[in-house]
């Protein structure tokens, strides 16, 4: 029914959703590491470390999957984004490198308070820069300011003006808020200590309100910052019921956090994130990099797309049980010490 490129685009969107729900939570862990406060600051940091350590590297691979699919299936779009958004992507890479390395260095460096705290700071700040820059990139791609000649591949850009505007940064902070919310909600269930749980409940509420706030700001800015997205969000047949659904789930999620129904929140918040990203995906369709590049006019030929989809199917068959096992081992009920011995 759809062309193969739409299937690939769907796989990329699903990968992005999973990356937000898993890798995004890891970045959110970094945010709450920076804002660890009060007399339980150390316990908060330790909890975050325990939660991340065994899984962050596997979660990180989703980003690589997205980028590889982008350049394999939509090479001109990849080249265009790499050219026009060189600066935010480079900043994001710095964030990725420092986040990952600071996290392991902190585990294996000498365990004096000052060294530990210094690596914590690097880890936390990098965890904040990375999702902001990821969001800025996605916002700029949606903004309709990156013009490219489809025939020649020539990108008309000054390398700055397509991303250094309010709308991409609104999306950047929107992404950051989502990461914070997801992480805090997960962390409420990573501990049996009611006081720690309460700490992360507070943080989940802050995250939820920030998400709401940034969603509103982004929507307002989209009128000027991303008109085609705004049209997609506002005028389609599906859009109004979809917004109502997203809004309802978001409010129910806040209620669940408020009423300490953490298991319920643990289900509702991911649904909220899925709906937000799907809504954006649908609004952007059929543009990959608006206004010139659509999924169809940048797609590689079917001889390329078919083997990639076959690899995806094989990947699902292998990876679903592997991931299930990873999470079952480390995210199950009883959770003794997961920090390696020094």
Partner 1 sequence: MADLLAARAQMAMSLAFHIIFASVGIAMPLLMVIAEGMWLRTNDDTYLTLAKRWSKGTAIMFAVGAVSGTVLSFELGLLWPTFMAHAGRIIGMPFSLEGLAFFIEAIFLGIYLYGWERVPKKVHWLAGVMVLLGGMMSGIFVVTANAWMNTPTGFTYINGNFTNIDPVAAMLNPSSFSQCLHMTIAAFLAVGFAVAGIHAYFLRQNPNSSFHRKAFAIALSVGAAFSILQPISGDISAKKVAKHQPVKLAAMEAQWETERGAPLRIGGIPNEEDEVTRYAIEIPKALSFLAHFDFNAEIKGLKEFPPEDRPPVAIVHYAFQIMVACGMIMIVAGLLGGWLAWRRKGIPVDRWYLRFVTCCAPLGFIAIEAGWTVTEVGRQPWVIYNYMRTADAVTPMPNLVVPFIGFTILYIFLSIIVVILMRRQIFQE
Using the structure block, give the residue that is written with the tokens 């390398």. Answer: 159
Query: Between 17 and 275, whose beta carbon lies closer to partner 1?
Result: 17
Query: Between 133 and 254, whose beta carbon lies closer to partner 1?
Result: 133
Q: How far apart are CA 265 and CA 250, in angstroms?
A: 10
The crossing angle, in degrees rounded to 10, of helices 41-52 and 166-188 is: 90
- Any long-range contacts for 302-310 (C-beta under 8 Å, 24+ apart)? 302/4, 304/72, 304/73, 305/4, 305/5, 305/7, 305/8, 305/73, 306/4, 308/8, 308/69, 308/72, 308/73, 309/4, 309/7, 309/8, 309/11
Lookup: tokens for 40: 């339980």
The CB-of-318 to partner 1 minimum distance in angstroms stands at 7
The CB-of-296 to partner 1 minimum distance in angstroms stands at 14
The CB-of-83 to partner 1 minimum distance in angstroms stands at 5
Q: How far apart are CA 338 and CA 54, in angstroms?
A: 8
Given a contact cutoff of 8 angstroms between Cβ atoms, the answer to whether 46 and 101 are in contact is no
Closest CA to 135 of 177, 97, 72, 96: 177
Q: Which sign does the torsion angle of CA 66, 69, 74, 77 carry?
A: positive
| Interacting residues toward partner 1 by CB under 8 A | 53-55, 57-58, 60-61, 63-65, 67-69, 71-73, 75-76, 78-83, 86, 89-90, 93-94, 96-101, 103-105, 107-110, 153, 155, 159, 300-301, 303-304, 307-308, 311-312, 314-315, 318-319, 322-323, 325-326, 329-330, 336-338, 340-341
Query: Between 78 and 287, whose beta carbon lies closer to partner 1?
Result: 78
Lookup: tokens for 316: 């699902």
Query: Between 14 and 208, whose beta carbon lies closer to partner 1?
Result: 14
Given a contact cutoff of 8 angstroms between Cβ atoms, the answer to whether 52 and 29 are in contact is yes
Query: Between 25 and 229, whose beta carbon lies closer to partner 1?
Result: 25
The CB-of-81 to partner 1 minimum distance in angstroms stands at 7
Q: Which residues contact 265 (CB under 8 A, 6 or more apart)?
A: 185, 188, 204, 253, 256, 257
The CB-of-235 to partner 1 minimum distance in angstroms stands at 33
Query: Between 71 and 242, whose beta carbon lies closer to partner 1?
Result: 71
Using alpha carbons only, give the angle 321, 21, 201 rounded to the nearest 5 degrees. Answer: 120
The CB-of-246 to partner 1 minimum distance in angstroms stands at 30
The CB-of-340 to partner 1 minimum distance in angstroms stands at 6
DSSP symbol at 146: B
Query: Between 12 and 265, whose beta carbon lies closer to partner 1?
Result: 12
Query: Between 68 and 164, whose beta carbon lies closer to partner 1?
Result: 68
Given a contact cutoff of 8 angstroms between Cβ atoms, the answer to whether 197 and 191 are in contact is yes
The CB-of-117 to partner 1 minimum distance in angstroms stands at 16
Query: Between 75 and 212, whose beta carbon lies closer to partner 1?
Result: 75
The CB-of-185 to partner 1 minimum distance in angstroms stands at 22
Q: Which residues contact 315 (CB under 8 A, 6 or more apart)?
A: none
């Amino acid at each position: 029914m759809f062309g193969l490129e739409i299937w690939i685009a769907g796989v990329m969107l699903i990968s992005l959703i999973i990356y937000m729900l898993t890798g995004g939570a890891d970045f959110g862990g970094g945010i709450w590491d920076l804002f660890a406060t009060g007399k339980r600051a150390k316990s908060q940091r330790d909890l975050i470390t325990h939660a991340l350590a065994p899984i962050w590297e596997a979660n990180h691979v989703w980003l690589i999957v997205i980028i590889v699919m982008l350049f394999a299936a939509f090479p001109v779009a990849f080249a265009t984004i790499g050219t026009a958004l060189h600066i935010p992507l480079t900043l994001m890479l710095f964030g990725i490198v420092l986040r990952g390395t600071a996290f392991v260095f902190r585990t294996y460096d000498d365990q004096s308070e000052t060294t530990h705290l210094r690596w914590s700071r690097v880890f936390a700040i990098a965890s904040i820069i990375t999702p902001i820059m990821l969001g800025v990139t996605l916002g700029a791609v949606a903004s309709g300011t990156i013009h490219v000649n489809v025939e020649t591949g020539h990108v008309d850009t000054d390398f700055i003006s397509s991303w250094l505007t309010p709308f991409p940064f609104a999306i950047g902070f929107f992404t950051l808020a989502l990461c914070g919310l997801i992480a805090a909600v997960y962390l409420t269930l990573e501990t049996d200590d009611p006081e720690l749980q309460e700490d992360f409940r507070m943080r989940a509420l802050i995250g939820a309100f920030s998400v709401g706030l940034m969603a509103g700001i982004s929507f307002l800015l989209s009128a000027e910052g991303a008109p085609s997205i705004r049209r997609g969000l506002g005028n389609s047949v599906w859009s109004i019921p979809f917004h109502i659904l997203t809004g309802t789930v978001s409010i129910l999620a806040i209620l669940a956090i408020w009423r300490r129904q953490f298991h319920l929140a643990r289900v509702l918040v991911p649904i909220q994130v899925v709906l937000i990203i799907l809504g954006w995906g649908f609004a952007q369709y059929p543009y990959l990099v608006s206004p010139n590049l659509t999924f169809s006019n940048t797609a590689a030929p079917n001889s390329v797309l078919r083997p990639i989809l076959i690899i995806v199917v094989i990947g699902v068959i292998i990876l679903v049980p592997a991931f299930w096992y990873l999470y079952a081992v480390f995210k199950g009920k009883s959770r003794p010490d997961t920090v390696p011995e020094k």
